[in-house]
């Protein structure tokens, strides 16, 4: 039996090489750039994948497809394609109010006398500046500066934090870190499941559910409340650039139905629609999706998250030495990475559903150089938009590129569509991001 040398430029017997023209030498595990199209098999999802307390309610509401996120069933479609599909869900989000089952955001609690010190050691930003009953978007890095998770971090009390995690198993990392460090804390997942209420009418709906106190809640503020007999935590947060909130149901294995039906009942008069997490809108807002746009081999300096690495944090934290080394190089005019994430506008027919592959990007001369991670159609901008990875020297706004989109989106069969690097976010958010705030102050804040 012959042995294939995968270090060869053109290995034998491989009809779909992993696009060696695109420089992934920074990575130990390259992104799979083979263009394999839709998955042609039925995925087996058995009892090893968890059903959240809201799963059966999503099915009742019409969920017809799902993925797996944090080893939990994750709804990814309620409106059937023949009835408008994901773009009908988008319309409900930007014009009315929507309900999302996001119980996949598992809640990892850190509680105890050393909670603040422990959290400050594992996140890059300064945990001491988060006041009780407030939250922050945060990142956790490994010692190489790679992003392990980018949760919303909630501080319930002086001695209690909840990590509302993205799609990687943060609990095991935190427990492993503390085996060596020995902070006086208890770390574990708790029976709390969030729902998101997103859209321009969300404040009115939430005020009806919880009173007018909601209207004065600051962005990332928290409040304790009751709904349908259940204790809940309410936050003004969400995975969109629209106005939105999250309801964290405590003891959700018991109270899921009561909370779900209370929201749907009150929401009926506002035209509430149950939808899947709105990736089309989060792309427009420049919000990243862990595992899709970034992962444990990604530095915050590559993906617009430099503000998550404060210059003035004196306390030690995991990854600090490496991240400060990277920033020193950047301050000196260098860029210690091959690739950088940018936003692009691209031609072609409207992209109205999830991409099956990381679509390939070329320079105008046809040389392949990068790949798209998150594309979608923007009705407001009347163009396709996307987040993507390109070499650093091609990251300036206005740089022309080309994208090899699938045939369904081609303007001319077999021909790439034109693209151009542009500012991110693609459209304003109700609560301006750090990027938007910096731009308003005249500061450079490139993706």
| Predicted local confidence at residue 16, as pLDDT | 67
Q: Is the pLDDT of residue 10 over 60?
A: no
| Predicted local confidence at residue 310, as pLDDT | 96
Preceding amide of 425 cis, omega within 30? yes
**Confidence bin at 317 (pLDDT 50/70/90):** very high
Rounded to 5 degrees, φ, ψ at 5 are -90, 105
| pLDDT single digits (tens) 394-429 | 999 999 999 999 999 999 999 999 999 999 999 998
Question: Position of tokens 């009150």?
Answer: 266
- Contact, 154 vs 162, CB < 8 A? yes
User: The tokens of 306 are what?
Assistant: 């430099």
C-alpha distance across the termini of the chain, in Å:
48
- Contact, 137 vs 126, CB < 8 A? no
| Predicted local confidence at residue 12, as pLDDT | 43
- The share of the chain scoring above pLDDT 90, in percent, equals 89
Give the residue-averaged pLDDT of 9-20.
60
Q: Is the pLDDT of residue 7 over 90?
A: no
| Predicted local confidence at residue 430, as pLDDT | 86
The closest alpha carbon to 221, from 233, 232, 239, 206, belongs to 233
User: The tokens of 394 are what?
Assistant: 């091609």
CA–CA separation, 33 and 20 (whole Å) = 9
Neighbour order of strands in the sheet with 134-137:
134-137, 152-157, 160-164, 107-111, 186-189
Q: Is the pLDDT of residue 331 over 50?
A: yes
Backbone dihedral region of 259: left (phi > 0), alpha (psi from -120 to 50 degrees) or beta?
alpha
**Confidence bin at 338 (pLDDT 50/70/90):** very high
- Provide the mean pLDDT of the chain: 93
Domain architecture of the chain: domains with CATH: 55-105+192-283 (3.30.1360.120), 338-447 (2.40.30.110)
Residues 6+ apart with CB under 8 A from 159: 111, 112, 113, 115, 116
Question: Which parts of 237-352 are beta strand (E)?
Answer: 244-250, 273-274, 339-346
Q: Helix crossing, 170-181 with 115-122: angle to 10°?
A: 110
Q: Is the pLDDT of residue 281 over 70?
A: yes
Residues 6+ apart with CB under 8 A from 141: 124, 147, 148, 300, 318, 319, 323
């Amino acid at each position: 039996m012959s042995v294939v040398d995968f270090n060869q430029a053109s290995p034998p017997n491989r009809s779909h090489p992993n696009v060696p023209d695109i420089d992934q030498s920074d990575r130990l595990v390259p992104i799979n750039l083979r263009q394999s199209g839709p998955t042609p098999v039925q995925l087996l999802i058995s009892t090893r994948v968890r059903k959240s307390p809201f799963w059966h309610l999503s099915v009742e509401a019409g969920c017809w497809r799902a993925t797996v996120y944090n080893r939990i069933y994750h709804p990814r479609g309620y409106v059937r394609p023949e009835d408008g599909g994901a773009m009908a869900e988008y319309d409900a989000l930007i014009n009315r109010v929507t309900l999302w089952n996001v119980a996949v955001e598992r809640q990892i609690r850190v509680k105890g006398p050393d909670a603040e010190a422990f959290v400050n050691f594992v996140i890059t930003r300064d945990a001491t500046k988060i006041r009780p009953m407030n939250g922050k978007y945060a990142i956790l890095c490994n010692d190489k500066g790679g992003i392990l998770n980018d949760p919303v971090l909630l501080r319930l009390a002086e001695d209690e934090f909840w990590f509302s995690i993205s799609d990687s198993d943060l609990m095991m990392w935190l427990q492993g870190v503390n085996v060596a460090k020995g902070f006086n804390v208890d770390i574990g997942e708790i029976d709390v499941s969030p729902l998101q209420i997103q859209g321009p009418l969300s404040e009115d709906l939430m005020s009806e559910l919880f009173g007018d106190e909601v209207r004065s809640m600051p962005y990332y503020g928290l409040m304790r409340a009751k709904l349908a007999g259940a204790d809940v935590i309410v936050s003004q947060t969400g995975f969109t650039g629209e106005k939105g909130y999250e309801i964290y149901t405590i003891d959700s294995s018991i109270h899921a139905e009561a909370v779900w039906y209370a929201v749907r009942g009150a929401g009926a008069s506002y035209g509430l629609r149950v939808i899947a997490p709105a990736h089309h809108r989060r792309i427009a807002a420049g919000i990243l999706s862990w595992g899709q746009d970034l992962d444990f081999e990604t530095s915050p300096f590559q993906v617009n998250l430099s503000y998550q690495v404060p210059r003035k944090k004196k306390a030690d934290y995991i990854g600090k030495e490496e991240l400060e080394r990277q920033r020193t190089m950047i301050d000196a005019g260098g860029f210690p990475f091959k690739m950088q994430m940018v936003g692009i506008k691209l031609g072609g027919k409207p992209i109205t559903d999830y991409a099956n592959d990381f679509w390939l990007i070329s320079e105008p001369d046809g040389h392949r150089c990068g790949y798209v991670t998150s594309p979608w159609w923007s009705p407001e901008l009347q163009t396709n938009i996307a987040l993507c990875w390109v070499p650093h020297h091609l990251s300036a706004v206005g740089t022309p590129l080309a994208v090899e989109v699938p045939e369904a989106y081609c303007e001319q069969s077999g021909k790439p569509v034109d693209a151009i690097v542009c500012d991110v976010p693609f459209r304003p958010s109700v609560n301006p991001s750090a990027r938007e705030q910096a731009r308003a102050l005249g500061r450079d804040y490139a993706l």
